[in-house]
Structure 1
């Protein structure tokens, strides 16, 4: 039987286990993928704690497989799927987990992997890069404008900085002092995180900023909002909707479609976006991969290599 890394109930790391599961069967509009690589994201461990994403209801069944993005090779296709065939190399979002030897993907959020794109890089795109792309596009800033990205050293933040630069924006990235060299290597002006953030940003952007893409929430979001002349140019993927709406901003609106996946893949192939995969783990060490992200020390992207 195929293996998967799961959580057996809501809680901490003690709920996690590598188990054998039934091989899934694709339903209408779904494809079954033999997973090559799975991306690791903060939302993975947050879901284990009982966190609900906007629009979700608490209907999870256990054991629940971790993971929301994978790359791999199509094994089966469900009814009504067009344009995808068995043997195709693809990447996309999962129906119910991706830290597994097999995963189901909705065909509408699955894209063909370009030959020039590695399975490793492809697996990082459906959550982090696509979220970054959606948020930067939502801001709608003209070329030459300045955008502030909080949490710029993480998977979404580092992608947002690069995508903003590809669109001709000046970027200021907030991250810990330990990530200074990394953030600057992306082409952003680094500002250390911590108290009095707004003052440090004004030291490098005296007139404030034209847009903010927040990936942290809380006090960081509140301080960043004071740097804007137009509160509507505040987008967050790091805070609940009520928290950002009271500041005049909005949650990132996810497009969740093949077109966005194709767009971010083209950016990687064109050399404008580097997913910066910094560590890889095998499936039997998925817990270590998750701890690396959960502890907040990850730089760039962490992935799980399921098969060669």
Structure 2
């Protein structure tokens, strides 16, 4: 018989919690440390106490309004352009306008503390990861709802989410280590799967020292691929330590490897280096992307695309198997977390500033204060 835990919702009703509320598009002044009501889980939802929350480009890009078609620069340039300004971008969200004010935070390691009406009370107390990319109409549809972008997320002491989006995890990792996984590794696993990476595939990974890039290196290696990481010279030894077979600077990749030397390129940098990435691909090769931190507008020679029979794959919506697979990799010890630094939740601006400096390898994590 499962242990039946007493309901905890009445203890939290009417209580407030600390949260970082992003009030709109703009600079760090848009990140407000606030007291807001603890959300009540609706029917079919659970209430999760946030134990640790990861920092991603996604939250920064959303605050900057970078997803707007009016933005033509990379993330860092966009951050400089909005500093100290009030900016309105009605199309700045993933699908429509971002629903500001918003509690951001796509990465959450937490513990279930309450369930909605009719929910299974035996789940209370379980340590869980939340699937950040939610398929609102099932996996037959590409429609998504992202934690922290389309609905309130993990930059708070509590978050309410659908019960089918929480996954228990049995491992000896710390809460902060687990919080490095959902967004970066979910995005990486989705790209590796869709690209069809298998044993012997030659895979070029740009931004290999970042959260997603470092995850791609690990996830491609566990499939037996030959991985070529692209990273700045200062970070190359750390990328090799992840298991990359070769590590190069972005500007030297084509000259060292030669054209038509790769089966797959997984590129979340884009920008001016995009043409070289297509040149690296052999005929019939696959280019996969879920980001463009170096700049969203690229130069594409259509002759390279069609004469080489290339496949270009955009990845946002995670496939059904992605998150359960990640949980199994963690529990079997097949991947390891890359925790670069931990900050208190109220130091989010400092964390994002340092994140944009790009001197770290891996992921930053925020820790909210324990509730009273």
Task: Calculate the TM-score normalised by the size of structure 1.
Answer: 0.88
Q: Is the 8 A contact 1:125 1:265 kept in 2?
A: no
1:70 and 2:128 correspond = no
| Change over 3 Å in CA distance of 1:79–1:230 after alignment to 2 | farther
Counterpart of 1:151 in structure 2 is: 207
Separation (CA, whole Å) in 1 of partners of 2:43 and 2:296: 32
Distance 1:108 1:201 in 2: 44
1:232 Cα deviation after fit: 5.3
Q: What stretches of structure 2 of length at least 5 have no aligned partner? A: 1-15, 68-91, 133-146, 306-310
Q: Distance in 2 between matches of 1:191 and 1:84?
A: 50
CA RMSD of aligned residues (A): 2.6
Distance between the aligned counterparts of 2:162 and 2:63, measured in 1? 22
Confirm or deny that 1:251 pairs with 2:314.
Answer: yes
Higher alpha-carbon Rg: 2
Deviations along 1:182-241, one digit per CA (max 9) or x if unpaired, are 1110111111123x5421333xxx751010111111222321111112455110012499
Structure 1 SS opposite 2:346: helix
Change (3 A) 1:108 1:201: farther
- Identify the match of residue 60 of structure 1 among 82, 95, 99: 99
Describe how 1:58-137 pairs up with structure 2 within 5 A: 58-62=97-101, 64-79=102-117, 85-92=123-130, 93=132, 94=147, 95-137=151-193
Question: In the superposition, relative to structure 1, how do residues 99 and 244 fare at CA in structure 2: closer, same or farther (>3 Å)?
Answer: farther
Instruction: Specify the SS of the correspondent of 1:129.
Output: helix
Mapped to 1, the partners of 2:323 and 2:46 lie a distance apart of 16
Per the TM alignment, residue 252 of structure 1 is displaced from its structure 2 partner at its CA by: 1.6
**1:39 offset after TM fit, Å?**
0.7
Range with greater deviation from structure 2 (105-114 or 18-27): 105-114
Kept in 2: contact 1:138–1:253 (CA 8 A):
no
CA distance 1:46–1:2, shift in 2 (3 Å): same
User: Which residue number corresponds to residue 37 of structure 1?
Assistant: 52
How many residue pairs align between the two structures?
302
| In 2, Cα distance between equivalents of 1:84 and 1:117 | 23
Does the CA-based 8 Å contact 1:24-1:32 persist in structure 2?
yes
Q: Which residue of 1 aligns with 2:196?
A: 140
Corresponding position of 2:239: 183
Instruction: Tell me if the contact between 1:75 and 1:87 (Cα under 8 Å) persists in the aligned partners.
Output: yes
- Look up the SS of the partner of 1:20 in the other structure: strand
TM-score if structure 2 supplies the norm length?
A: 0.74
The alpha-carbon deviation at position 243 of structure 1 amounts to 5.9
User: Corresponding residue for 1:269?
Assistant: 331
Query: Residue 69 of structure 1 aligns to a residue in which SS?
Result: coil
Q: Deviations over 1:142-179 (max 9, x none)?
A: 31111001110001100100010000000000111111
